[in-house]
Every structure is written in C-alpha cells, then in structure tokens.
Amino acid sequence: MFPAPLGDPRKGECIVAQALDPTQHVSSEELRLTRRNLFPLVGAAALAPLVVPSLASAAQETVSHHGSDDDDDDDDGARAPSRFVYVGTYTSKAPGGINPSTSKGVYVFKMDGRNGALELVQVVELVDPSWVTIDTSFSHVYATSEVSTWKGTPNSGGVTAYSVDAITGKLTFINDEPTRGAIPAHVILDPSGKFALIANYIGANFTVIPIQSMGGVGPATDVFAVSGKGPNTARQEAPHPHQTLVDPAGAFVFGPDLGTDKVWSWTLDAGKLLPNANLPADLVASGSGPRHMSFHPTGKFVYVIDEMVSSVTAFSYDHAAGTFTWIQTISTLPADFTGSSSTAEIIVHPSGKWVYGSNRGHNTIVAFRIDQTTGKLKVINWTSTQGSIPRGFNIDPSGRLMLVGNQNSDTVVPFRINQNSGRLHPTGAITSTPVPVSFAFGRVTSG
C-alpha cells in the first residue's frame, strides 16, 4: 500500500516525503501553475519493485550507512576559496511545498570558504527563479522563471539576464525573453557561451536562446518539441523535460525527460538542435522518470538520477557517437528504508572519484564511490541534510564544499567534502533563507 500523501489532492498535490525533522517544514504560497504540483510524486519504495525488478540493492553496495569523523580518512585540511553564490528560489508555493514562500527572487551571498557560511549581499526581485546559472567568466547570471505565463505570453516561462559587478557580486538587470515553453525547469549555457539551452517541463520542448554581445538574451533561435509518454499515467502522460546538459567535449547536448523515460540527444548547429544521427535518445528503465544527469570529468561515464524510483543509472559514454551503454542501476536509498522519497539532483565530484544524489523524503545526500575502470558505483554512506526536501545542491569549483538547499526548511546547509573518502561533514554554518533550490558559484572574493 502507498503511504498516505500530504497536501491537497484537489490541486494534484502529493507530498510523499516525510521529513527527518518534522518541525522544520516550511515552504511557499501557491501563485500559479507549477510543474510537480500537477503530478503526484510516487513513493520509490512502492514503485521500484514494479518497474525496476533488477534494481541493485543499496545494501549490497554499502560501505557504511552513516559514517563519522571517527571512521573517516584524514583530509588534506585545505579550505575552499571564498566566493559569491547566487541562489534560485520559488517566490510562490514550491512543488511539494507546504507553507507560503517569503522569497522575493534571486539571493546573492558571499560564501566564507572556511565553512560555507553565507553573508547576504543582495536580493533581486524576480518571480519563481527556480534555476540560476552563470557564465564561465562569472560576468553574467541567467535565471529561469518557472511559470506558465510570462508577461502576458501564454504557455511560456521566462529567462532573465543580469550583469555581475566584479567587485561586489551584485546583479544588474539586462533584459528577459519568453522561453516559449511553460514551466522552464533548467537552463545552462553551451560551451561557446553563445546560447542558453532551456528545458520546459510542461511545454514539452527544449529552447535555444541566443546570448547577445553585452550578455543579454535574444529571441529564441529554436524550439525543439518532443513527444511520447511513460507507463505512469499520473506523471508520465506527456514529455516533461527536466534538464539540459552538454558533454565534456562540447559535442552533444542531452535532455533528460521524466515523462518519456528518455534522454534526448542532439548536436547544436548555429542555434539549432539537430537530433543525434547515431541515436536520437537513450533510455532508462520504464517508469523511472529521469530527472538530471552528470558526466564523469573524463567523459567516460555518465550518471542519470531517476526521480520516480530513487535510483541512479550508470552508463559508459561513447564521446564520438554521443551514445550511452548501460552499466548499472543502483538505489539511492538504504535497503531498510520503508518511507516515501524521490530524488532530485545528481553531481559528479570535480575529481571524478565520487557522485552525489539528493533524496527528498529520506532527506539525505547519498554518496557513491566511482570505480574508475568500470564506472560502477558503490555506496559510501547517507548524510542527513538537516532539513526537509533537499531539492538542490551544488559543489563549489574547488570540490571542497557542498551547499544543500532544504526547500521546506528554508535553510542552506554547508558540508565539507573529505578529499580522501568523499564523505560529507556538516560545518555547522547553516544559513536561513527562503526556499533555496539552486546554486551558481561566482567569482572568488577576498577573505
């Protein structure tokens, strides 16, 4: 039997995650159509045996369940550089949220590299900027507004461009454009920095937006619609693009699609997405709901996190053809976990030694060790995020600090990453800020 969901079923809400600390539930008001309050989340513990019968048990791959400083390897003791951090939020009620949001938009912080403490620099008002990204020169920030109508344009979200002050880190508005697809969930820049690539969750399409000479955004050069559905009629009745990502060589663009169990594949040519002639889409197990993916820095392996069944699917990657070959599917949850949970973010560590995923409901970050020869994963441990619904996290470019956003607890919790073991250790420098769900690391600062 499925656990009884929280939330209002009349609105399609279903909060399946039960927090480790129920006193920390906080969230945001419902303002308009948002993607995951349309479709109830399904508990991984209930669904996984139905759609992935061969899913590897985490218990079979576990090094330890929790870990501590007592059993950890020695770290090198070095600190991360201090730098600016840009935090995306929901200004209306977040998917899976409980209470009204107090967020105003994008939050700019200065991060202390010693412990990940955040000092507020600026608040930039913008509606539902759930994803933020920054260019390689740290001079421009781009934020997608996860809405279904953008400044009177129906069936479209928005993308907003900002310039970054090199000294203060503050943002200045440049301009914005409609994404030409409803509920944009993710944006990145291509390696040339000339195009923004956007996944529109409800729009069932991927949009290419040109970056202008002064960093602003121009009208879309391409809108690539996808089609199909999956076996879960509640959540996979149509395509639901969730991310865009370019491979390490910059040759192929990929788009995980929760609704069709596919990872779409293209080349980018003069602002147009052209289907990969070798294989236009790679597949995960039916009903898995691929959400995000992350490449090994060598480009040999790629890891896809499956939201609906709480698993990671490992593939080897053919960089010449832009195609995947299945290696392994492994649970993100302990074998003895009986509650409901869904995954969100996945990131391979810059060293390529480890990969991390967030569990919303179990409220942990799972750490895996990567076999550098085979690409297979082995669980290191699970670390509590000290809050509820860790939708987003990111690793600073030095690989020494991780910032985790607990959506329903309104907290950013920093962790030191042990450089020998990959284990996470909370620094204690928790920052209270409303509905933190995405992080972009900016320019290094003094201090």
CB atoms within 10 A of CB 297: 14
**Residue 122, domain member (yes or no):** no
- Domains in the chain, number: 1
Is the pLDDT confidence value at 396 over 80? yes
pLDDT interval class at 43 (50, 70, 90): very low
Is the pLDDT confidence value at 202 over 80? yes
Identify the pLDDT of residue 301: 98
Identify the pLDDT of residue 447: 63
**Residue 100, domain member (yes or no):** no
Paired tokens of 390 = 């860790």
Ramachandran category for residue 234: left, alpha or beta (phi over 0 → left; psi -120 to 50 → alpha)? alpha
Instruction: Please state, in angstroms and rounded to a whole number, the distance separating the CA atoms of residues 76 and 70.
Output: 16
Is the pLDDT confidence value at 336 over 50? yes
Strand 354-360 relative to strand 342-348: parallel, antiparallel, unpaired? antiparallel
Identify the pLDDT of residue 99: 87
For the chain, what percent of residues have pLDDT higher than 70? Answer: 83
**Residue 397, domain member (yes or no):** yes
Is the pLDDT confidence value at 367 over 60? yes
Identify the pLDDT of residue 73: 64
Q: Tell me which of 414 and 22 has the higher pLDDT.
A: 414
What is the rounded average pLDDT of the residues 376-396?
98
Domain that holds residue 244: 9-78+185-404+413-427
Is the pLDDT confidence value at 440 over 50? yes
Identify the pLDDT of residue 72: 67
Is the pLDDT confidence value at 13 over 50? no
Instruction: Please state, in angstroms and rounded to a whole number, the distance separating the CA atoms of residues 431 and 420.
Output: 27
pLDDT interval class at 446 (50, 70, 90): confident
In angstroms, what CA-CA distances link 144 with 39, 183, 258? Answer: 21, 9, 19
* Phi, psi values for residue 224, rounded to 5°: -100, 110
Q: Is 380 within 8 Å of 351 (Cβ atoms)?
A: no
Q: How many helices (H) and strands (E) does the chain have?
A: 1, 32
Paired tokens of 268 = 């980018």
Q: Which residue is listed with tokens 């129906």?
A: 154
CATH number for 13? 2.130.10.10
For the chain, what percent of residues have pLDDT higher than 90? Answer: 82
Identify the pLDDT of residue 77: 84
pLDDT interval class at 9 (50, 70, 90): very low
**Residue 438, domain member (yes or no):** no
Is the pLDDT confidence value at 56 over 90? no
Instruction: Please state, in angstroms and rounded to a whole number, the distance separating the CA atoms of residues 256 and 316.
Output: 16
Paired tokens of 139 = 């001079």
Q: What DSSP assignment string belongs to 334-367?
A: -TT--S--EEEEEEE-TTSSEEEEEEETTTEEEE
**Residue 437, domain member (yes or no):** no
What is the rounded average pLDDT of the residues 338-348?
97
Residues in the chain: 447
Paired tokens of 100 = 């009204």
> Residue 48, SS3?
helix
pLDDT interval class at 182 (50, 70, 90): very high
Instruction: Please state, in angstroms and rounded to a whole number, the distance separating the CA atoms of residues 100 and 323.
Output: 43
What is the rounded average pLDDT of the residues 398-419?
98
Between the two ends of the chain, the Cα-to-Cα distance in Å is: 53
Q: What are residue 225's DSSP bridge partners?
A: 205
70: Cβ contacts below 8 Å, ≥ 6 apart: none
Is the pLDDT confidence value at 4 over 90? no
Best mean pLDDT range from 2-16, 27-41, 122-136 = 122-136
Secondary structure E strands in 233-353: 245-246, 253-257, 262-269, 272-275, 281-283, 290-295, 301-306, 311-318, 323-331, 342-348
**Residue 114, domain member (yes or no):** no
| Mean pLDDT of the residues in the chain | 88
Report pTM: 0.87
DSSP single-letter state for residue 127: S
What is the rounded average pLDDT of the residues 396-411?
98
pLDDT interval class at 385 (50, 70, 90): very high
Strand 311-318 relative to strand 323-331: parallel, antiparallel, unpaired? antiparallel
Angle at 390 between CA 385 and CA 391, to 5 degrees: 160
Q: Tell me which of 179 and 61 has the higher pLDDT.
A: 179
Q: Comparing 67-71, 182-186, 297-301, which segment has the lowest mean pLDDT?
A: 67-71
64: Cβ contacts below 8 Å, ≥ 6 apart: 71, 380, 381
Identify the pLDDT of residue 75: 85
Instruction: Please state, in angstroms and rounded to a whole number, the distance separating the CA atoms of residues 242 and 186.
Output: 6
What is the rounded average pLDDT of the residues 375-393?
98
| Span 87-100, pLDDT tens digits | 999 999 999 998 89
Is the pLDDT confidence value at 67 over 70? no
> Residue 120, SS3?
strand
62: Cβ contacts below 8 Å, ≥ 6 apart: 334, 378, 379, 381
**Residue 105, domain member (yes or no):** no
Is the pLDDT confidence value at 64 over 70? no
**Residue 133, domain member (yes or no):** no
Q: Which residue is listed with tokens 């943002």?
A: 171
Instruction: Please state, in angstroms and rounded to a whole number, the distance separating the CA atoms of residues 279 and 322.
Output: 8
